[in-house]
Amino acid sequence: MKLYRDMDEFEMDNSVVAIGTFDGLHIGHAALIARVKALAQAEGAPALALTFDRHPLSELGALGAPSEILSREEKRARFEQMGVDGLIEQPFTPEFAGLSPEEFADRLAGALRPRVAVVGYNFRFGRGGAGDARALSAMGERLGFRVDVVAPVCSGGEPVSSTRIRALLAGGDRAAAERLLGHPIGISPQST
């Protein structure tokens, strides 16, 4: 897996890219990455994951970012284990946070040249979270890529989310949190 510190470092002609915060890399995220890999194989393009060098709420939230589920190193190792060809850790600077949805889509298209962008059902992007999957799909039509939206993965009748996992951990239910994560907490991927 190749690590990129910015979208602009990517130099290939095309890609299939998953976009998200991916905090925890839980079973819902695993479904999204599996979809990216399948589409990348069908398209003959590299499978990429676009995430951020810090949680977006560290720039946007009044209370700061939520607690980490995985360290940056653990996150990288999990992406590699999941089989992506490239991981982009985009710096989430005030300038990047200030991009409008259209500016973000233009930058994505120019830098990664995606054939397909894969996002979760609750995906938000652009300044203030103004854009959603439907907006990205419309922008993608104009910019030459399509958008594939992955439905929620549910457990116990509720969507799996990092917020839910944090609540389980805060309540001391590590076993339930690990079931939703699909991997043990604090153990290197080579051990799992």
Phi, psi of 142 (to 5 degrees): -70, -35
146 by DSSP, 3-state: which? strand
pLDDT at 68: 83
- Asked whether the predicted pLDDT for residue 188 surpasses 50, the reply is no
**In this predicted model, what pLDDT tens digit does every residue of 63-116 receive, in sequence order?**
666 788 888 899 999 999 999 999 999 999 999 999 999 999 999 999 999 999
As beta bridge partners, residue 82 has none
Distance CA 64, CA 7 (A): 24
Structure tokens at 26: 């839980």
pLDDT at 63: 61
Report the pLDDT averaged over residues 50-64. Answer: 74
What is the chain's mean pLDDT, rounded? 92
The type of residue at 66 is: P
How wide is the angle at C-alpha 165 spanned by C-alphas 50 and 101, nearest 5°? 35
CA-based nearest residue to 76, from 25, 126, 117: 25
pLDDT level of residue 192 (50, 70, 90 thresholds): very low
Distance of CA 68 to the CA centre of its chain: 15
Is 54:14 a contact under the CB 8 Å cutoff?
no
Cβ partners under 8 Å of residue 142, min gap 6: none
CA-based nearest residue to 88, from 26, 192, 16: 16
**In this predicted model, what pLDDT tens digit does every residue of 1-34 receive, in sequence order?**
999 999 999 999 999 999 999 988 999 999 999 9
pLDDT at 189: 45
pLDDT at 9: 96
Distance CA 82, CA 80 (A): 5
Confidence (pTM): 0.91
Phi, psi of 50 (to 5 degrees): -105, 115
